[in-house]
């Protein structure tokens, strides 16, 4: 397990990566990790992810009460807490505005077509949650039914959220969301998008299961 200071540095590092990729322009987007004691270390509100420092991070409990930090926690902490409450296996959450994926969200379109073998294997379908005002309880409620069954979600007219076993995992899922959105956009612009058949999808899911089992075996 990482020390608290290392988690702070990780939030800075991944925040800068997401900023440089154009996923968190201005002061948008937020990241968090679940600490060993069950509290949540999160990015502050109103802060460029490029200019963030380790000391800027804030700790809250699972009810959103601030425990430590000189800045205010992100106004979208409710979204993060909804994920952590619903998924005890999740230890990191990334909310961002990747432009193409957000374009799909603004067009009212999920990323749930099985067009790309890699996306089926690593991400699965990315559903679209109904619109809710940012920074409100309604936003977390709009995600609630989708969180247990997916690893990334688009939010109508807003952006995307991805979560995983650590910050790297959540970051890679967000990166894959945008990559898959780009593929879907191009396939439809070409006018001949060809989704995978169910038999091919089943084969990919079996291959994924074998990959996971092999990875677990190597850890023991």
**What is the set of active-site residues?**
76
Is 32 strand, coil or helix? strand
Phi then psi for residue 46, to 5 deg, are 60, 40
**Burial degree of 75 (CB within 10 A; 0-12, 13-18, 19+):** middle
Instruction: State in Å, rounded, how far the first CA of the chain is from the last one.
Output: 17
Q: Tell me the C-alpha distance between 167 and 204, whole Å.
A: 25
Q: For the residues of 133-174, what is the DSSP string, one character each?
A: -TTSHHHHHHHTTTGGG-SEEEETTTEEEEEESSHHHHHHHH
Phi then psi for residue 120, to 5 deg, are -60, -45
């Amino acid at each position: 397990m990482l020390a608290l200071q290392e988690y702070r540095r990780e939030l800075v590092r991944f925040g800068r990566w997401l900023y440089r990729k154009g996923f968190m322009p201005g002061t948008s987007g937020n990241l968090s990790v679940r600490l060993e004691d069950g509290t949540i270390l999160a990015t502050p509100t109103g802060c460029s992810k490029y200019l963030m420092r380790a000391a800027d991070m804030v700790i809250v409990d699972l009810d959103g009460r601030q425990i430590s930090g000189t800045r205010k926690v992100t106004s979208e902490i409710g979204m993060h807490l909804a994920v952590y409450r619903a998924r005890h296996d999740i230890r990191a959450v990334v909310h961002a505005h990747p432009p193409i994926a957000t374009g799909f969200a603004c067009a009212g379109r999920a990323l749930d077509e099985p067009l790309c073998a890699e996306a089926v294997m690593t991400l699965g379908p990315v559903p679209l949650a109904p619109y809710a005002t940012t920074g409100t309880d309604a936003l977390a409620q709009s995600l609630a039914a989708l969180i247990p069954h997916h690893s990334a979600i688009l939010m109508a007219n807003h952006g995307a959220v991805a979560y995983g076993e650590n910050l790297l995992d959540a970051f890679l899922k967000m990166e894959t969301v945008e990559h898959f959105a780009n593929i879907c956009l191009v396939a439809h612009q070409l006018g001949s998008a060809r989704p995978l058949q169910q038999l091919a999808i089943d084969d990919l899911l079996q291959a994924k299961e074998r990959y996971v089992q092999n990875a677990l075996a190597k850890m023991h």
